Chain A
């Protein structure tokens, strides 16, 4: 599959009139980002030379539990470029792509791009500030092979994207220097990479985070430990996944509020409208900062305060 693309390019170079390639170059690349955040980065790198759609975009849906329908299968099958997360987060997308083989289609599996083993416990890769710049570079490189005439645009876009993450990195560094090792509790591992990048210490047992993420019965020891973190004021913020709620997470939320521990909402997929990847990550980091420095809870993103 990888070999066939340079072969076509070489063929076009030697035989001057190449109508098929010319037509393909004129039409925008049909791209799919399985999650909205990846679709957003594709759009930022590809600009007007791609048409992008996302599959998981409803912020009320837990992406882990997403179910496929034939319409989505057709959209994936028709895509020329796909970005998927991997690590079991969106396995169905890979299965769907396997069912509709296309030698020309290029797929970026972010897990494999980062060289992560299958047993990596936390699939929320985009919360790591190192992830998306690498996705952007990979996108620029692949788009350059698909539309060589715009290769410079793609590379410039990737560089601009990387630079635009500056405020986010600065915000993370500010928390790290102002509050090194600030203790926090979480309901789910969704924002753990961001918290680690901000130098925060996550005191919630990972087994509890995994149980809530996977919808299994939590160990009572872990629930008690989390309750103690909140009631004993051992943490300075509760980082709460707004997209996965159940009676247990609701009880942690109530306990945090009762003990005046600020709550920071985090999301599995980019809350729309009004956010791009950079501003979304920055908003969550600023919310974390407001929580640990000023004890402020944040209203859900995209909703009016109060």
Chain B
């Protein structure tokens, strides 16, 4: 950490693509970390992954129809959230089965749409940018949109975080206290869809689970209270994203001018932090 400023490669903050990447990944990391904590407590990690995979069909479709990829990802993620909520299977085993089948169907559609992208719309980079992200090629206008959506989602999260936590920890109690469990569940899935969309834009649909679950999982190992866990998850997520952006930027200097993919660095940082957090896993959380 000492002399981090001096370590920064010259021109880092003046670089347009870097600024866009820092902005969009900040929104993605922050929202994903917040939603991720609730997602883990509710045991919906797999649903989060499924939503990300299903949303890739929207990303691929956006390339095909020439619309803003954010709306493509978001449309399919919200649709996916609706389907998952409608299925609403309560038993974990059946829920995983249904989610898995749904995920497969979504990726199948993605495969078809990516095929059309390449053969009809000459968007040769579509497959990599949908699946693994293309953070340094974020279209202009995306940053403000992401900031807006991220801010909106965080307001909603702040409003529903108490009933959400109650539903997650003790659904029966929440029902008794007059909380609309189903509505809160749907709002959570909606926020999940938004978080997944923003991270799909940054590190890609396939890898967005890492941003959703990784920082939250590490934070839940380290923090005793949910509030602290959320804060810590946000710090870890943003640090991983910004660290990844910096490492990818710096890699230009030692990779022969190619620059390694930023998604790799972000996911690796998250994984490292998760492993490190295991050293203190003896703690248990008090809700």
Contacts and interface: CB of A to CB of B under 8 A. Distances in A.
Nearest to B14: A224
B189 interface: no
Given A205-B257, A210-B258, 4 more contacts: A207-B257, A215-B127, A224-B11, A245-B122
Interface string B209-251: 0000000000000000000000000000000000000001100
A244 B124 contact: yes
B272 interface: no
A248 to B, nearest CB: 4
9 contacts: A61-B119, A61-B120, A211-B258, A215-B125, A216-B128, A216-B261, A220-B249, A223-B17, A247-B69
B190 to A, nearest CB: 26
Q: Nearest 7 CB-CB pairs, A to B?
A: A219-B259, A215-B125, A220-B17, A248-B137, A247-B139, A62-B124, A65-B118
Interface of A: 58, 60-62, 64-65, 67, 205, 207, 210-213, 215-224, 227, 243-248, 250-251, 254
A169 B63 CA distance: 39
A224 B16 CA distance: 6
A89 to B, nearest CB: 13
B48 interface: no
B21 interface: yes
Task: Name B's interface SS.
Answer: helix
A148 B261 CA distance: 55
Given A217-B133, A224-B11, A246 B125 contact: yes
B5 interface: no
Task: Name A's interface SS.
Answer: helix
Count chain A CB atoms within 10 A of each CB in B127, B132, B139 and give the residue with the most: B139
Contacts of B21: 220
Contacts of B249: 219-221
Contacts, number: 115
A246 B121 CA distance: 9
Contacts of A246: 63, 123-126, 129, 137
Interface residues of B, number: 40
B134 interface: yes
Nearest to A216: B128
A251 B124 contact: no
Contact of A61 (B118, B134, B138, B259): B118
B119 A218 contact: no
Contacts of B248: 219-220
Contacts of B252: 219-222
A251 B135 contact: no
A243 B122 contact: yes
B17 to A, nearest CB: 4
A217 B126 contact: no
Contacts of B118: 61-62, 65, 67
B216 to A, nearest CB: 26
A301 to B, nearest CB: 15
Contacts of B14: 224
Contacts of B259: 207, 217-222
B122 A220 contact: no
A217 B129 contact: yes
Contacts of B138: 247
B34 to A, nearest CB: 27
Contacts of A62: 118, 122, 124
